[in-house]
């Protein structure tokens, strides 16, 4: 957890090309966080903040609120530069046409030829967290092991239902999109922002299994609330052995 920094302790300006940024949204009892990516290709350049705010609200901003904490991904610096360039490309290609908000898969979310979001039968839209996963995926840096990710629990389904209700109230959302999201409620897995942030913070055994992402996510939430992690994160003995042997 030494790669997660609050801006009060360490300015986001010290990032190495890319950082995953996360903040609490609303009251802590809402149990809701928002995730995005901050990046710059050249070390001396200004930082850019890229995030999927809501339905068709992909935003690229040149400032980052001090409420965000940031995760320094455990990725070699040269790969982070590639990731930053890809962020720039994706922002360039999608700011106009925009990305819908839904619970679609982050795999193959962007067209190889145009870098535009691929709207289709399997990719209906992304959340703020799956958008970050999709961007890392595009840079060949898969953060999460999607196979075996837990099915949505009652909290997740309640959250998905609340997103659907909010989409219904949002002007301009098409009936087709509402129907597509309706079908996904309760059937699509939920990638929580804190789990994605936690997965970015470790290098070992990446793509990260759900059990580790969940444990790391809980630690991230504690850090965001100014609490200390319960215990130091550890891989299972079996995974430590596989990691030592260099096996997937």
Partner 1 sequence: MNSLTLDTRALFQQTRQNEDEIRDTHDQKSWYLRTAPRGSRLHATVNWPQRVIGELSDRESNPEGPRTKVVAKSRGRARGWLSAFRFGSRDAVDISVFSKLPNPDIEAFDHFVVSVVQEASKSGIEEWNKIFAYTDFDALPVYISILTLAATEDKSNQLPARRVFVERCRKTLRSMGMADELFDLVQKDTKSAPRREQFLKTAHMVACLEEQTATKGYVKAAIAFEKLGDIRSALACVYRNMRYRLRDGQAKELDEDVRTFDIDDAGIDTMLAVLTATAPLKSSLPSRKAFYRGVRRTLKKRGQLEYGLLDGLK
Give least dist CB 88 to partner 1, A.
Answer: 7
Specify the stretch interacting with partner 1 by CB under 8 A; choose among 76-84, 99-107, 120-128, 165-173: 76-84
Which DSSP state fits 34?
E
Using rule CB under 8 A, residue 41 touches partner 1: yes
Alpha helices for 95-200 (secondary structure H): 128-138, 154-169, 175-184, 193-200
Give least dist CB 180 to partner 1, A.
Answer: 25
Report the residue number, 135 or 180, with the smaller CB distance to partner 1: 135
Report the residue number, 115 or 222, with the smaller CB distance to partner 1: 115
Q: Which residues contact 38 (CB under 8 A, 6 or more apart)?
A: 12, 15, 18, 19, 20, 21, 47, 48, 49, 50, 64, 68, 70
Among 8, 62, 113, 169, binds partner 1 (CB under 8 A): 113
- Rounded distance between C-alpha atoms, residue 111 and residue 121, angstroms: 14
Report the residue number, 143 or 220, with the smaller CB distance to partner 1: 143
Instruction: Report the chain's terminal Cα–Cα distance, integer Å.
Output: 23
Report the residue number, 48 or 127, with the smaller CB distance to partner 1: 48
- Rounded distance between C-alpha atoms, residue 153 and residue 239, angstroms: 26
Where do contacts with partner 1 occur on this chain (CB under 8 A)?
Answer: 41-42, 45, 75-76, 78-79, 81-82, 85-86, 88-89, 112-115, 139-142, 203, 206
């Amino acid at each position: 957890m030494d790669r997660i920094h609050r801006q009060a302790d360490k300015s986001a300006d010290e990032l190495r090309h890319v950082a995953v940024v996360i903040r609490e949204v609303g009251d802590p009892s809402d149990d809701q966080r928002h995730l995005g990516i901050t990046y710059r290709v050249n070390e001396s350049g200004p930082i850019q903040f890229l995030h999927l705010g809501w339905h068709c609200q992909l935003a690229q901003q040149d400032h980052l609120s001090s409420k965000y904490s940031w995760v320094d991904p455990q990725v070699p610096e040269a790969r982070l530069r590639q990731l930053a360039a890809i962020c720039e490309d994706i922002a360039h290609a999608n700011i106009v046409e925009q990305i819908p908000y839904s619970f679609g898969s982050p795999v193959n979310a962007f067209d190889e030829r145009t870098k535009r979001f691929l709207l289709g039968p399997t990719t209906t839209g992304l959340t703020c967290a799956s958008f970050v996963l999709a961007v890392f995926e595009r840079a060949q840096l898969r953060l999460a092991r999607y196979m075996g990710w837990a099915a949505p629990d009652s909290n997740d389904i309640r959250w998905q239902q609340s997103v659907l209700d909010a989409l219904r109230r949002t002007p301009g959302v098409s009936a087709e999109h509402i129907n597509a999201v309706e079908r996904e409620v309760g059937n699509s897995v939920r990638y929580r922002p804190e789990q994605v942030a936690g997965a970015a913070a470790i290098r070992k055994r990446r793509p990260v299994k759900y059990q580790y992402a969940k444990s790391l996510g809980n630690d991230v939430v504690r850090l965001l609330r100014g609490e200390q992690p319960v215990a130091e994160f550890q891989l299972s003995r079996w995974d430590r052995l596989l990691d030592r042997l260099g096996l997937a």
